[in-house]
Amino acid sequence: MSKNFKDIKTLDTPQGNLNLSWDTDVLIIGSGAAGLRAALAASEHANVTLITKTTLTESNTHYAQGGIAVAMNLDDTIALHIKDTTAAGAGLCDAGAVEMMVSEGIPRVGELLDWGANFDWEGTLPRFTQEAAHSRRRIVHKGDATGRETTDVLIQRVLNTERIHVLQNTFAIDLLTDEGVPEKREAGVTCYGVTAIVEEQVVCIRAKATILATGGLGRLYPCTSNPKVATGDGFATAWRAGCEMIDMEFVQFHPTTLFLDGAPNFLISEAVRGEGGRLLNIRGERFMGKYHEKGELAPRDVVSRAIQIEMDLTGFPCVYLDITHKPKEFILERFPTISDTTKRYGLDINVDLIPVRPGAHFMMGGIRTNTDTQTNLKGLYACGEVACTGVHGANRLASNSLLECLVYGARAGTNATVFAKSQPDHPPDIPLPSNVGASLASIADAAAETHTEATKIAVQEALWENVSIERNGEGLQKTLAELQDLATDLGDLLTSPELKDIATIETVNMLNVAVMITESALTRTESRGAHYRADFPTQDDTAWQRRVLITRDSPLEVIPF
């Protein structure tokens, strides 16, 4: 029986409605490229349950525009792609992880093409495009909607795979572990799945192996390219369960998000600059030449900072991206999504300048994993944006994220399956959290909702003010104090196992993660990659070619690279 995407319903599982407890071999949390690719790999030898917060298509992946970087062009090599990735990472890339991503990326992209990804072609080769800090044209893409094409192909394949059970509108709250069982703890904490909210009820999904693929955290900032689901849940959930979190100070800001009255957060792809787009300030001056020899194609952190400086100098809240010198047919064919979206807000990119400013885009840090995607909890794997193998170092090269998701998603699926197969058939007898079985309706009152929304906005503003493109010690201290006050205000909600509604859990997650980013940024007293400290403006390799590690139970640590 093959499932049809349009027919799939919440809780429509082969066994009928979901009970309070559901068992699976491999549980995957998240339906972006990493989670979907992991599900396909795991399903080769195990039964898989994939849960996702809203619908299958709602993810950062779905909105990806520019493309996937892969060393497939005739003038390109694995060595060159490694060199560019490592240069962007500013001394903190893990060499083994980069080599693995770049070399295994070639068959991963190849199989995506075999599975029907309809990327743009030129003769017998994909039409490779250029993006910043790449020394070759190596980005495969589908117009400016590469993410949609990628997820469509992966989702269709997942839905045609009998062994994968998909639960949409299923919100992961916390990981289930045996931490509370003293005789088990001796051997190290093991993860056995997750508690989740399904149709306003808390259920427990038990798994022999669990993969976190919950994506990014752009929504911690008021200005972002990320969709609403990106509230950093996976980072907070992992931290609360005792995972090691690393490189959390490295948040990437994309230089060009749309800044237009009434328009939602929307990315204007780097590929627009790759194809010749020019940045102008409000005075009409092309300014990037002042900041970097590569002009508009300088690394993202350089372009974002330059835009911020121009905005400060001119006192104007945005700069402009100009692609009007390119032929209309080219623009429409190459950037149909951007053309259509801006048109809805009265802007014709063939003749009008595009108002843009930087926004939070990508998290380089995350749950510490090795290249087998294992975390420090047994039975728990992480892949994609929520994980940190060290592949991006201090700054990600454009279009390397989808590549990472495909490579490490597949590895996570395979490795989690091997672990699941080594486990006994029946789940161990560990006590379930007291909220399992509770119903949400009782606490979702209007006052709680208003309180939660106000806290979310306060977290976003505090981070934007002092923990965004430019940071300094004083500002970081101020934000840390503000976050601590917000945590005090939330009081018991932060730690209580009692029932919370999804908005409150998201707010708690945002607060947990905001503190991790701020503490890490305060600790790193230098500037490197996406982390720029105005009070320590240079890169200090002697003191700081190191990594910042955060765990729930120990003080923050600076560890050797």
Site residues, ligand SIN (CB under 6 A)? 65-66, 269-271, 398-399, 401
Least Å distance, CB 128 to ligand SIN, is 14
Q: Do the Cβ atoms of 219 and 510 come closer than 8 Å?
A: yes
What's the token pair of residue 420? Answer: 């699941």
- Piece of the chain touching ligand FAD by CB under 6 A; list 108-116, 212-220, 337-345, 465-473: 212-220
Least Å distance, CB 405 to ligand FAD, is 5
* Sequence-separated contacts (24+) of 9-12 with Cβ below 8 Å: 9/168, 10/167, 10/168, 10/169, 10/170, 10/198, 10/199, 11/167, 11/198, 11/199
- Find all residues with CB under 8 Å of 340, minimum gap 6, and list them: none
Evaluate the CA torsion angle 181, 185, 189, 190 in order and state its sign: negative
Of the pair 168, 225, the CB lying nearest ligand SIN is at 225
CB atoms within 10 A of CB 278: 18
Least Å distance, CB 274 to ligand SIN, is 8
Binding string, residues 231-270; x marks residues near ligand FAD by CB under 6 A = --xx--------------------------------x---
Catalytic residue among 37, 219, 278, 300: 300
Of the pair 144, 174, the CB lying nearest ligand SIN is at 144
- Piece of the chain touching ligand FAD by CB under 6 A; list 117-125, 224-232, 309-317, 324-332: 224-232
Of the pair 131, 482, the CB lying nearest ligand FAD is at 131
Q: Do the Cβ atoms of 211 and 29 come closer than 8 Å?
A: yes
Backbone angles phi, psi at 471, to 5 degrees: -125, 160
Q: What angle do CA 252, 512, 182 make, to 5 degrees?
A: 125
Q: Is 66 in the site for ligand FAD (CB under 6 A)?
A: yes
Q: Do the Cβ atoms of 508 and 236 come closer than 8 Å?
A: yes
User: Residue 52's binding partner, choosing from ligand SIN, ligand FAD, none, with beta-carbon cut-off 5 to 8 A by kind?
Assistant: ligand FAD
The DSSP element (H or E) to which 253 belongs, if any, is strand 251-258
Least Å distance, CB 263 to ligand SIN, is 17
Q: For residue 411, indicate whether it is catalytic.
A: no
Among 213, 288, 394, 510, interactor with ligand FAD by CB under 6 A: 213
Q: Do the Cβ atoms of 211 and 452 come closer than 8 Å?
A: no
Q: What angle do CA 76, 81, 86 make, to 5 degrees?
A: 155
Q: Is 455 in the site for ligand FAD (CB under 6 A)?
A: no
* Sequence-separated contacts (24+) of 470-474 with Cβ below 8 Å: 470/305, 470/308, 470/532, 470/534, 471/521, 471/531, 471/532, 471/533, 471/534, 472/533, 472/534, 472/535, 473/522, 473/525, 473/533, 473/535, 474/535
User: Residue 39's binding partner, choosing from ligand FAD, ligand SIN, none, with beta-carbon cut-off 5 to 8 A by kind?
Assistant: none
Of the pair 57, 479, the CB lying nearest ligand FAD is at 57
Least Å distance, CB 560 to ligand FAD, is 27
How far, in Å, are 197, 286, 543 from residue 20 at the CA level?
Answer: 10, 60, 51
Q: Is 190 in the site for ligand FAD (CB under 6 A)?
A: no
Among 24, 43, 49, 52, interactor with ligand FAD by CB under 6 A: 52
Of the pair 197, 271, the CB lying nearest ligand SIN is at 271
Task: Report which residue type is found at 441.
Answer: A
Among 64, 175, 191, 377, interactor with ligand FAD by CB under 6 A: 64
**Within the chain, how many helices (H) and strands (E) appear?**
16, 20
Q: Which of 306, 300, 342, 305 is closest to 324 using CA atoms?
A: 342
User: Residue 407's binding partner, choosing from ligand SIN, ligand FAD, none, with beta-carbon cut-off 5 to 8 A by kind?
Assistant: none
SS3 labels along 481-531? HHHHHHHHHHHHHHCCCCCCCHHHHHHHHHHHHHHHHHHHHHHCCCCECCE
Residue nearest to ligand FAD (CB): 32
Site for ligand FAD in 355-414 (CB under 6 A): 362, 384-385, 399-402, 405
- Piece of the chain touching ligand FAD by CB under 6 A; list 39-47, 86-94, 211-219, 520-528: 211-219
Among 214, 389, 395, 518, interactor with ligand FAD by CB under 6 A: 214
Binding string, residues 309-348; x marks residues near ligand FAD by CB under 6 A = ----------------------------------------
Alpha-carbon distance of 218 to 240, in angstroms, equals 20
Of the pair 227, 475, the CB lying nearest ligand FAD is at 227
Q: Is 33 in the site for ligand FAD (CB under 6 A)?
A: yes
- Piece of the chain touching ligand FAD by CB under 6 A; list 104-112, 214-222, 244-252, 372-380: 214-222
Q: What does the binding site for ligand FAD look like in residue numbers (CB under 6 A)?
A: 29-35, 51-54, 58-61, 63-68, 146-147, 171-172, 213-216, 225-226, 229-230, 233-234, 267, 362, 384-385, 399-402, 405
List active site positions.
300
